[in-house]
Chains A and B, each alone.
Chain A
Amino acid sequence: MSTKLKAFGKILKFEIFGRKKFLFLCVFVGIALLAVLCASVYLKVSNVSSDKKSLYFINEYTSREELKSNLDASRATLVELEKEYEQSKASGAAGFILAEKKTNIDVLKRSIKGMETLYEKNIAYKNVIAYSVFDKANGGSAVVNFINIFAIIVSILMAIRLSVSVPNEIKEGQARFTMITSVGRTDYVLFRWAAELIKNLFAFIVFSLLCFAVTEMFYPTGGKYVLVATVTNSFLLNYGASCFLQILFCTYTLFLISAIAFSVSLVVRSPFLSAGITIVVCFCGRFLELLQSTIGRTVNFTKWLLPLNLRLEQSFTSLTVNSVFVTAIFGISITAFLFFVAMARFNKRDIA
């Protein structure tokens, strides 16, 4: 094992077992789990009437034949809508009218894709819910909601902690020790970042798995499915897989937020300013998201800005943003750029 890895191992071990803060993190996870249990009991997640369900605008059906008939009707409607769209385009209709018609077509296309999958797999309407629509009406998927909420809490705490770590060390004078060791200042700050990320990811993943186990224990979702449908594709997942996917998406978010917070901490020397900038940078996308939903689908100016909210789950099914792949590449590219600029700047800067 190289010296670098050994050093990182030692720092990670110290960050996890050497500081009492990790104990606090474990207590935090425990309290969060208790909150999940209480919330689950309150929401009564397993007893929801199907008429309140949101399933990509797929109408409720009681038999396979009814689903087939709905599917045929939707296909016919799609042909009509596409014809209308072409006519409007040819007659030089206003842009917002065309955009609205296009959105309606996409929504219908997604419903058709979903219906096709449900028909092929012969799935009953009561046994399926839509991915990424996490509300009381969607019953068992509330567990995914809890994972999301916990990821947001962990990401905020981690962002604040990471963003003040280096400025605090410089301000209080510990950096005059930590930056002149055998490890080297570059590796030291990288190790601090990685150790903090691993610690928080560990807490998040442990919480998510326990949360899934606990809610499944009290409100089993066996035999139910999660439908994922886009304009071009659709498929079914079981609850376990959808939770796993959610954990993966949140891990991506936590990773990017940690990298941004760390980058800011290397450039900004005031702990308060650093924390403030980090929160604005990491969560500005959420505000854009709100803005987008307020303005509506037709004015889609935030399409390329939304990757800044550092979330992938909405890209998974949304018609108004880029695909998961594009969003991920865009988000990673922006973060990587910030990261390398910050590292280069840090290496050329004096430690006060």
Chain B
Amino acid sequence: MNAIIEIRNLSKKIGKKQILKDVSFSVDKGETVGLLGRNGAGKTSILKCITGLWIYDDGDIFVCGKNVKKSDKRSGIAALVGYPSLFPNMTLQENIDYFGTLSLKEYVARAKELTDILNLSDVLNKKVGTFSSGMKQKACLIVALMQNPEILILDEPTSMLDPISGFEIREFIKSVKKTGISILISSHNIAELEGLCERAVVVDNGQITRFIDIKKANRRFLLEFTNLDEMKKALTKAQDFGIVIQDESSCFLLGDATVLKEFIIKANPDLRDIKNVNVLEDAYVNET
């Protein structure tokens, strides 16, 4: 088995309220999995249980093969769950050193590399309390990733950010993903998850309702032509794909993403516009 995070029948109650019920899923090595669900569905609760911040009632969670309940030491795991914060009265460098000491690993070189990548080298000696939200989030990512973890857990990493900061963080997470690290990410932003994840786990009311395999899912493209004739002509060459005519000059093509993209580019010189329709959003919205 290649699972780096494995959750079996996880249940958690707070008072009389059942927060999580019989949650089971896994994250494989090098895989990026998204947690999808509306507010209060239980996404953050699952992440808190995985990191050990919350003590769960029933079930088992294994992270890097170790049972979370049996040890409170979390090596190889980095997490930004429930809006964490650095010490605001300490400088970024002091924060890096403090959390670096707690990681019990060499962190200096990687921390420097990350501060350069995230453009925070100039503010290393400034107090974190004076940072903007975007800078704080970047600083948290440095602290989380400087110990070279095997797993990165992110809880709505861009939800509090402006569009530009959000874009920068997303691009950074994509670059981190390329290093082979496993990522478990929760987000409201479906497009964000679709761009990052191979799989999505849909959570509702503390339970898992569906798994969506984004990699294998049919892509859906909206093709817009100048007129009906051109569309008909083009569609004769597209019999291998699912075709859904929308109106006189546009239709949806459904099929394998790679093949579809190739076909559209090569065989449709008359095409006016192509729109990549968000399949995860469709799947999620249709389901719920």
Tell yes or no: B27 within 8 A of A by CB. Answer: no
Q: Give complex CA distance A186, B51 in Å.
A: 15
In the complex, chain A residues whose CB is within 8 Å of the CB of B97: 14, 18
Interface of B is mostly: loop
- For B83, list chain A residues within 8 Å (CB): 173, 176
Chain A neighbourhood of B84, CB < 8 A: 173-174, 176-177
B85, A351: Cβ atoms closer than 8 Å: no
Q: Determine the chain A residues whose CB is within 8 A of the CB of B16 once the complex forms.
A: none
CA of A248 to CA of B144, assembled, Å: 43
Nearest B residue to A10, CB-CB? B101
Of the candidates A7, A11, A173, A347, the one whose C-beta lies within 8 Å of that of B85 is A173
Q: Whose C-beta in chain B lies nearest to the C-beta of A173?
A: B85
Residue pair A14, B99 in contact (C-beta under 8 Å): no
Interface residues on A, range: 20 to 34
State whether A351 touches B143 (Cβ < 8 A): no
B72 near A186: Cβ-Cβ < 8 Å: yes
Closest B residue to A185 by beta carbon equals B72
Within 8 A of B (CB), among A39-67: none
A352 within 8 A of B: yes
When distances are taken between beta carbons in the complex, the residues of chain A under 8 Å from B88 are 172
From A178, A181, A188, A349, contact of B55 by CB (8 A): A349
Closest chain-A Cβ to B151's Cβ sits at a distance in Å of 11
Q: Is B24 an interface residue (CB 8 A)?
A: no
A-B contact pairs, 12 of them (CB 8 A): A7-B101, A14-B101, A18-B94, A173-B85, A176-B53, A176-B85, A180-B53, A181-B99, A183-B102, A185-B52, A349-B55, A350-B55
Contact indicator per residue, chain B 73-90, by CB within 8 Å of chain A (1) or not (0): 111010111111111101
User: In the bound complex, how far is the Cα of B101 from the Cα of A6, in angstroms?
Assistant: 10
What's the nearest-Cβ distance from chain B to residue A168, in Å?
10
What mask results when residues 202 to 215 of chain A are scored 1 for a CB within 8 Å of chain B, else 0? 00000000000000
Q: Is the CB of A3 within 8 A of B81?
A: no
Q: Choose among A3, A19, A175 the residue that contacts B104 (Cβ–Cβ < 8 A).
A: A3
Contact with B along A167-201 (1 / 0, CB 8 A): 00000111111111111111010000000000000
Tell whether A121 is near chain B: CB-to-CB under 8 Å. Answer: no
B250 at the interface (CB under 8 A from A): no
Cβ contacts under 8 Å, A186 to chain B: 72
CB neighbours (8 Å) of A13 from chain B are: 101
B74 with A180: CB separation less than 8 A: yes
User: Within the complex, what minimum Cβ distance (angstroms) separates A275 from chain B?
Assistant: 18
Residues on A with C-beta less than 8 A from B94 are 18-19
Q: Is the CB of A180 within 8 A of B77?
A: yes
Assembly CA distance A136 to B75 (angstroms) = 59
Complex CA–CA separation, A258 to B77 (angstroms): 32
B175 is an interface residue with CB less than 8 A from chain A:
no
* A14-B97, A173-B84, A177-B99 as given contacts; A182 in contact with B53, CB under 8 Å: no
Contacting residues, chain A, for B14 (C-beta < 8 A)? 350
- When the two chains form the complex, which single residue of B48, B54, B90, B102 contacts A181, counting CB atoms closer than 8 Å? B102
- Interface residue B105 (Cβ < 8 Å from any Cβ of A): yes
Known contacts A11-B102, A180-B79, A351-B54; is A174 also within 8 Å of B85 by CB? yes
Q: A18's contact among B55, B85, B98, B105, by CB below 8 Å, is which?
A: B98
Q: Do B55 and A348 touch (CB < 8 A)? A: yes
Residues of B within 8 A of A188 (CB): 102
Given contacts A14-B101, A348-B55, 10 further A-B contacts (CB under 8 A): A6-B104, A19-B90, A173-B82, A177-B143, A180-B79, A181-B99, A184-B72, A188-B102, A351-B53, A351-B54
Q: Which of A174, A176, A179, A351 has the most CB of B within 10 A?
A: A176
1/0 contact string of B42-62 vs chain A (CB within 8 Å):
000000100111110000000
Distance in Å: Cβ of B116 to nearest Cβ of chain A: 22
Q: Determine the distance from Cα of A105 to Cα of B102 in the docked complex, in whole angstroms.
A: 60
* A3-22 interface code vs B (CB 8 A; 1 in, 0 out): 10011001101100011000
Nearest to B140 among chain A residues (CB) is A177
